[in-house]
Structure 1
């Protein structure tokens, strides 16, 4: 996989993770306002976006595991950073929504 292909995967991961991040932050705000069903749906939607980001990431991992050389640049690192921080935000969001529900 050349750098251009890896960059495209990186951009895709950034897009999906960024979408999930926005949904999770919206979920926190909804829970804060007492809109629990909407918050729960936003978390479900965010999980779908995270799944897409993970699937995209897995494509690259599978190619490298198969022995293909992969040129990783800063865009891919940026994508990985977005995905990992979004996964952390997902865990925190679930806890915060639960706390708001217990109010």
Structure 2
């Protein structure tokens, strides 16, 4: 896989993670906390895939291989960091919906 393909993999998996985390929030809003947590795990898996590619690029640079910094790579890093933050916040929203739904049912 060439550099551009690796960078696109980071963008792809990060985008999938963010979309899935957003879907998890929507599902939690409908009081399906179990499904929301499953979706959050899927988002985590996508982030793990993106992180593996990122780690490979970092290790390549450590080995002395030239990893060219490009606008596309910076864009991919931005996507990954935003997806991680969004997934973390989605977890907080899901916990909050779970609490609210629990108290409104009791």
What's the TM-score, normalizing by structure 1?
0.93
1:52 alignment counterpart: 49
In structure 1, list runs of 5 or more residues that go unmatched: none
What is the CA-CA distance between 1:6 and the residue it aligns to?
Answer: 2.4
In structure 2, list runs of 5 or more residues that go unmatched: 101-106
SS for the counterpart of 1:68 is: coil
Aligned length: 100
What is the CA-CA distance between 1:79 and the residue it aligns to?
Answer: 0.7
What is the CA-CA distance between 1:81 and the residue it aligns to?
Answer: 0.5
What is the CA-CA distance between 1:70 and the residue it aligns to?
Answer: 1.1
Q: Indicate which of 82, 86, 90 corresponds to 2:87.
A: 90
Cα displacement string for residues 47-101 of structure 1 (whole angstroms, at most 9, x for unaligned residues):
0000000001111000001111111211111110000000100110111100000
Alignment of 1:65-80 (within 5 A): 65-80=62-77
Larger Rg: 2
SS for the counterpart of 1:15 is: helix
SS for the counterpart of 1:23 is: helix
2:103 alignment counterpart: none
Mapped pair 1:61 → 2:58:
yes
What is the CA-CA distance between 1:5 and the residue it aligns to?
Answer: 2.8
Query: Which 4+ stretches in 1 moved above 6 angstroms?
Result: none
SS for the counterpart of 1:34 is: coil
Distance 1:36 1:30 in 2: 7
RMSD: 1.2
Mapped pair 1:39 → 2:61:
no
